[in-house]
Amino acid sequence: MQDVLQQGWFERAGVRLHWYEWRTDGPAREPAVLLLHGLSSNARIWERMASHLRGRRIVALDQRSHGLSDRPESGYASDDLVADAAAAIDELGLGRPLVVGHSWGAAVALALAADRPEVAAGLVVVDGATTSFSRLMSWDEASARMQPPLPTYPDLEAAIAAERASLGDSWGDDLRAFVQAGLVAAQAGALSPTLTAGVRLQILHELFDFQPELLFASVEGPVLLAMAGQLWPGAPREFGERRRRAVDEVVELRPDAQVRWYESRHDIPLIRPAELAADVERTAIAAAFRSLARDAAALAASPRWDWSRPAQSDGDGWSAKQLLAHVSSTQAALPAVIAAPPPSGNGDRPAFDPARWNASQVRKRDERRPVELADEMRRGAEQIHAALLTADLSAQAEAGTFAGMPLGQAMERMLEHQRDHLAELRTALA
């Protein structure tokens, strides 16, 4: 399947916003992925990563005053930016995507996922703030660090040379379009960033007052903190130590959050695109299982349903509650399937009898209420995320019904299994 780069615009509150989409020729797997870039960047920063992330709808938004989007003088409060991202999801029909944000974009992504969980299946924070900037530095320090003089370049080649010097070995000519997308014509034929000093100051004030530690608990889906293990040259050692403590504090508040530290500076999408894409894909799979648990919880919470109703039309199969128990037990077993080692000895694996295993697992859950079964699905999804972060999706699955398949493909088959049974369950209850 070859991904095709498309682009377009939509309008919200009088502001035209530009987007790119890397869209697969074949059927797209769910969830889609929405990408939000950082300050003084643009949507094309994701191009390298997107080339490694196949089979899903991948949309990158040029946030206002960046890339090819409009540049209004105001409208940079968190609520405005969240509304822009939510409008992109709605306008482009992304459903409930995994939201990935880099740097400033991570703050927007977190606010979106926390404030509007109905539109975000999960969250990936790519070297974004995990605690208030005011805990790490004073406003004077933050202002000095994040407000260097905005450059002006005589031509595109000069801008490219500056970016090449900044990225070093990570530079490639594939980034020329990324550099060009961040510039507009200035006086006397020169080029300057799309972001003005006044708008940057508005955004920095919002970032300085932002309190991410208050929001992580409200995200309804998997959370991955994808952090740069290297700081800028000359960064104080204490700053790095405080960053790591802040990440640890998020995990204390949100024990299911997963953390990955990359051998990279801040621009992970440019420096470690393949590694980041693999972790985004793992998190997208976990988000799909978590969404199933969310759907099951909504069914279980309703007092309307008769859970003793037959789930199969012939009347000889499971009841609705037994079918939910089967779905729940399957999801709870998947972390062990993901982590199963290759067989030892002569390579023979014991024959798997799915009918016998399923019947035994349903019997074990006979006394559980539907809400308890749905909660087991949620816990299973959390453990699936943790297991996937240490797994090779291209390696062979060593256990379960789809043993012998590449692990990533086996997980998609299991998602189809779970979705089909939940659809069957909805029909039975209705």
Q: Is the pLDDT of residue 4 over 70?
A: no
Higher pLDDT, 165 or 356: 165
pLDDT tens, position by position, 57-112: 999 999 999 999 999 999 999 999 999 999 999 999 999 999 999 999 999 999 99
| Model confidence band, residue 147 (pLDDT cutoffs 50, 70, 90) | confident
- Share of residues in the chain with pLDDT > 70 (%): 96
Is this prediction's pTM over 0.85? Answer: yes
Q: Residue ranges per domain, the chain?
A: 3-150+195-276, 151-194, 302-429
CA 231 to chain centre: 23
- Specify the pLDDT at position 316: 59
- Specify the pLDDT at position 1: 42
Identify the CATH class of 302-429.
mainly alpha
Name beta bridge partners: 4.
23
> What's the Rg (C-alpha) of the chain?
23
Name the DSSP class of 181.
H
Omega before residue 148 within 30° of 0, cis: no
- Specify the pLDDT at position 97: 98
Closest to 337 (Cα-Cα) out of 271, 404, 281, 272: 404
Euclidean distance between CA atoms 397 and 318, whole angstroms: 28
Higher pLDDT, 44 or 343: 44
3-state DSSP: the chain helix, strand, coil percent, rounded to 5?
50, 15, 35
CB 194 within 8 A of CB 182: yes
Length of the chain: 430
Q: Give the fold, CATH level 3, of 3-150+195-276.
A: Rossmann fold (3.40.50)
Euclidean distance between CA atoms 95 and 295, whole angstroms: 14
Name the DSSP class of 342.
P
Q: The tokens of 7 are what?
A: 């682009």
- Specify the pLDDT at position 354: 79
- Specify the pLDDT at position 92: 97
Backbone angles phi, psi at 185, to 5 degrees: -70, 135
Closest to 58 (Cα-Cα) out of 66, 67, 68, 48: 48
CB 47 within 8 A of CB 3: no
What sign does the dihedral 67-71-73-79 (CA atoms) show? negative
Cβ neighbours for 400, distance < 8 A, ≥ 6 positions apart: 333, 334, 337, 340, 352, 410, 414
Name beta bridge partners: 99.
34, 123
Euclidean distance between CA atoms 287 and 411, whole angstroms: 12
pLDDT tens, position by position, 302-355: 988 999 999 865 555 899 999 999 999 999 999 999 999 987 766 566 667 778
Name the DSSP class of 404.
T
pLDDT tens, position by position, 404-422: 999 999 999 999 999 999 9
Report the half-sphere exposure of 80 (CA within 13 A, side-chain side): 16
CB 37 within 8 A of CB 63: yes
C-alpha distances (whole Å) from 300 to each of 143, 290, 322 are 50, 15, 13
